[in-house]
Amino acid sequence: MTILVTGANGFVGRALCAALRDAGRRVRGIVRQPAGNAAACDCDEIIAGDICGGLDWNRALNGIDSIVHLAGRAHVTRDSTPDPLAAYRRVNVDATRRLARAAADCGVRRCMFLSSIKVNGNASQVPFTERDAPRPADPYGRTKWEAEQALREIAASSRLEPVILRPPLVYGPGVKGNFLRLMRAIDRGLPLPLASIENRRSLIYVGNLADAIIASLDQPAAAGKTYLLADDEGISTPDLIRSMARELGKPARLLPFPPALLKLAGMAIGQSDALSRLLGSLQVDSGRIRRELGWRPRYELACGLRETARWYYQRPNVDSNN
């Protein structure tokens, strides 16, 4: 079986391609820009090209049994694009529709699409489930929802079998964004005024996500389904910082501070969204995929954080805004 993976050299893509190769699968990767050879992301073959246009889909899909569509425009903390919604829609919706149409025309059966829990919403005191009505609150979540609908529309008139996965925040070796920034702050010993936060957030380790993707590719019961994913343990922001600090071998410098004042400070400096993710709750019920596909997270939180900390200290010491 040959699997086509878009975004093969990304954070999730690298972990998935390695897991697929370990499982004895042949992997063809699509990347926007060539970054060395195929072995760099555990692929038998690399095809470079822009999924938004110009990619030779006949070549890319020749001999392909299943697709894992990871490529997309990720959540951007400081988005300077004049029209963020249009920029997200071009990559997340239009490119997904183009891929799904080409896959259907080429007779590909299974297409796994990595969506996001942001389709459900940005916060939840009660765990989200697949039964909840989508309530995306930002361009990223909105376009992931639109992409899901585009995929289902094409599947309705073809033999394509879509499977949609909605993970929460993904962490692990190679992580970027706010998770990496938080690790840097802990490593540098910066005091964090987050000790008074009482919340609960679901996460998923990248190795667990890769396992769930493989399960969704293999099992007939997954065809046409949407699954929410999460690790076994939800965790509060202060406890996450303590756990990260322990694995980094650093003290957790947590200070008490009223959350309401933190929110006001976030508004004043234009960081409301980032602070909301630290202060609020977002919980996920992943019972459906566990019942229907028998998927279970293989890695516990402590193990995932340990592997992430090991990567953090081994990575090239290059400062980045990512």
Which structural domain, as residue segments, surrounds residue 162?
2-174+204-231+283-298
Provide the CATH number for the domain around residue 215.
Answer: 3.40.50.720
For the beta carbon of residue 220, count every other beta carbon within 10 angstroms: 7
Domain membership of residue 226 (yes or no) is yes
Task: Give the pLDDT confidence score for residue 75 in this predicted structure.
Answer: 67
Q: Tens digit of pLDDT for each residue in 110-128? A: 999 999 999 999 999 899 9
Confidence class of residue 321 from pLDDT cuts 50, 70 and 90? very low
pLDDT at 71 over 70: yes
Q: How many helices (H) does the chain have, and how many strands (E)?
A: 12, 11
Count of structural domains, the chain: 1
- Residues 40-68: what's their mean pLDDT? 88
Domain membership of residue 215 (yes or no) is yes
In terms of C-beta distances under 8 Å and separation of at least 24 residues, what long-range contacts does 174-182 make, across chains too?
Answer: 174/11, 174/14, 174/15, 174/206, 174/311, 175/11, 175/206, 175/308, 176/11, 176/320, 176/322, 177/74, 177/75, 177/77, 177/322, 178/77, 178/274, 178/277, 178/278, 180/312, 180/320, 180/322, 182/241, 182/244
Task: Give the pLDDT confidence score for residue 272 in this predicted structure.
Answer: 73
pLDDT at 167 over 50: yes
Task: Give the pLDDT confidence score for residue 206 in this predicted structure.
Answer: 98
Domain membership of residue 140 (yes or no) is yes
Task: Give the pLDDT confidence score for residue 78 in this predicted structure.
Answer: 60
Domain membership of residue 304 (yes or no) is no
Domain membership of residue 127 (yes or no) is yes
* DSSP track, 199-225: --B-EEEHHHHHHHHHHHHH-GGGTT-
Question: H or E segment at 150?
Answer: helix 139-156
Domain membership of residue 268 (yes or no) is no
317: helix, coil or strand? coil
Q: Tens digit of pLDDT for each residue in 289-308? A: 999 999 999 999 999 999 99
- Residues 279-290: what's their mean pLDDT? 96
158 close to 220: Cβ distance less than 8 angstroms: no
- Residues 19-42: what's their mean pLDDT? 80
Task: Give the pLDDT confidence score for residue 238 in this predicted structure.
Answer: 97
- Residues 20-25: what's their mean pLDDT? 94
Which tokens belong to 312? 């953090």
Q: How far is 154 from 105, CA to CA, in rounded Å? A: 10
Domain membership of residue 258 (yes or no) is no
Q: How far is 17 from 21, CA to CA, in rounded Å? A: 6
Which tokens belong to 300? 């516990």
Q: How far is 307 from 88, CA to CA, in rounded Å? A: 31
67 close to 51: Cβ distance less than 8 angstroms: no
Q: How far is 164 from 146, CA to CA, in rounded Å? A: 12
Task: Give the pLDDT confidence score for residue 233 in this predicted structure.
Answer: 87
Domain membership of residue 193 (yes or no) is no
Catalytic positions, please? 140
